[in-house]
Amino acid sequence: MKERTSEKILLIISFSAIISLLLITIFIFVQGMPLIFKVGLKNFFSTHWAPTKGNFGILSMIVGSLLVTFGALIIGVPLSLACSIFLAEFAPPPVQKILKPIIELLAGIPSVVYGFIGIVILVPLIRNTLGGSGFSVLTASIILGIMILPTIVSISYDSLVAVPQTYREGSYALGATKWQTVLMVLFPSARSGIIAAIILGMGRAIGETMAVIMIAGNALKIPGSILDPVRTITSTIALELGYSTGDHRAALFACGSILFIIIVLLNIIAIKIARRE
């Protein structure tokens, strides 16, 4: 009797999480989608954002969000996988016990602190060495690449450690080196966990707000290079929701709807790629 009761309680809790997500999704779409149909797709997916004048173009923000996200993945994923491989396969136990908690501690640092670090150190460095204002796609990508490190490292490490030791021993018995074993045995075996880590990191990057507001420049235009300023969808919502009313407020909910769709599409693409490999 107790087991059945516990099973039902856990089932209800599981469904409550799904229902909560569903209700949030319905609320965002109900608030935002009518405006898209009202102004038309051509207006909504243009580059002119001036809600008080009836212009609701979010194309520059979509491009900005994607550029910053993919930039963060290009920087963060190789570093994260290198860290996870080192911790799982090459680091001595004392080093592993010190480094892993330090990397995981990065996840607890508030995003505003990353933003301050970007303003104080990274922005002047990029301005003086590469040019531009320093508030740019590159700056935001570097900071977000660092911010997604703990998520990807932690999950990838657990996935690599979970691979049975017999896989390693069999590879060594066939004459493979340790590095060949990592690439040809451990990576394929831990692929699902690594892909999940990258998807979670991607979600963190595309949904980040405060740090991006502080260091991306918030320019409503499609950037011509990685040194140009940019504004993301999340930045626009955070900056303008406090004083928006009417169609302006509905447009921000529409931005949230589009962001939700983008995240779902990126997750589907990542899962499809993982299954083909």
Q: Structural domain of residue 152, as residue ranges?
A: 2-276
Beta-carbon contacts of residue 233 (< 8 Å; ≥ 6 apart): 58, 61, 62, 64, 65, 255, 256, 258, 259
Please report how many Cα atoms fall inside a 13 Å half-sphere around the Cα of residue 37, on the Cβ side: 6
Q: What is the pLDDT of residue 20?
A: 85
Residues of the chain with pLDDT under 70: 1-2, 273-277
CA-CA-CA-CA torsion sign (156, 160, 268, 20): negative
> What is the token pair recorded at 40?
């038309």
Q: What is the pLDDT of residue 78?
A: 93
Q: What is the pLDDT of residue 275?
A: 67
Q: Give the whole-angstrom CA distance, residue 83 versus residue 99.
A: 9
**What element of type H or E holds 271?**
helix 246-276
7-19 per-residue burial string, b: 16 or more CB within 10 A, e: under 16: eeeeeeeeeeeee
Reported pTM:
0.85
Q: What is the pLDDT of residue 244?
A: 82
Vertex 255: Cα angle to 252 and 260 (nearest 5): 135
Q: What is the pLDDT of residue 243?
A: 84
Q: What is the pLDDT of residue 142?
A: 93
Q: Give the whole-angstrom CA distance, residue 186 versus residue 169.
A: 11
HEC-encoded secondary structure of 45-75: CCCCEEHHHCEECCHHHHHHHHHHHHHHHHH
Beta-carbon contacts of residue 35 (< 8 Å; ≥ 6 apart): 44, 56, 247, 250, 251, 253, 254
β partners of residue 56? 49
Report the domain count for the chain: 1
* Contact (Cβ atoms closer than 8 angstroms) between residue 118 and residue 208: no
Q: What is the pLDDT of residue 164?
A: 87
CATH (domain of 140):
1.10.3720.10
Q: What is the pLDDT of residue 139?
A: 92
